[in-house]
């Protein structure tokens, strides 16, 4: 796995976690890519084909239809059950 989200309501704490992770992955000769950013959750963000928004202290998630079609076009029978359940989860 190489994707992840960390949600923290304190910006200073989030920056400390980010810096700590950045140092930790150096041990494995890895680094964050240019897409790694700190976002204000009120602005919303996309992650793995799902758009997330916070409205009235509730997390709202909406799948991106074009991503669903791309994924469905690529899957085969072996992966069908996984993706079928994945799309049920993000509904």
For 65-89, write each residue's pLDDT tens digit. 666 666 666 665 556 666 667 777 7
pTM above 0.75, yes or no: no
Mean per-residue pLDDT of the chain = 79
Q: Examine the domain organization and report whether 23 and 51 are in the same domain.
A: no
Q: Examine the domain organization and report whether 54 and 33 are in the same domain.
A: no
What is the rounded (10 degree) CA torsion for 59, 65, 70, 75?
70
Tell me the C-alpha distance between 33 and 82, whole Å. 28
Q: Using an 8 Å Cβ cutoff, are 80 and 72 in contact? A: no
pLDDT on residue 79: 65
Q: Examine the domain organization and report whether 55 and 13 are in the same domain.
A: no
Higher pLDDT, 17 or 44: 17
Q: Examine the domain organization and report whether 51 and 91 are in the same domain.
A: yes
Q: How many domains does the chain have?
A: 2
Contacts of 6 (CB under 8 A, 6+ apart): 14, 17, 18
> Which regions of the chain does DSSP assign to beta strands (E)?
45-47, 50-55, 58-63
Where in the sequence is the domain holding 69, given as residue range(s)? 44-91
């Amino acid at each position: 796995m190489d994707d992840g989200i960390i949600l923290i309501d304190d910006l200073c704490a989030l920056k400390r976690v980010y810096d700590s992770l950045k140092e930790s992955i150096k041990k494995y000769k890895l680094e964050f890519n240019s897409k790694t950013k700190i976002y204000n959750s009120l602005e919303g963000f996309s992650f793995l084909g799902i758009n997330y928004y916070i409205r009235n202290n509730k997390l709202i998630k909406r799948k991106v239809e074009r991503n669903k079609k791309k994924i469905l076009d690529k899957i085969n029978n072996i992966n069908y059950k996984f993706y079928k359940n994945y799309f049920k989860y993000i509904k």
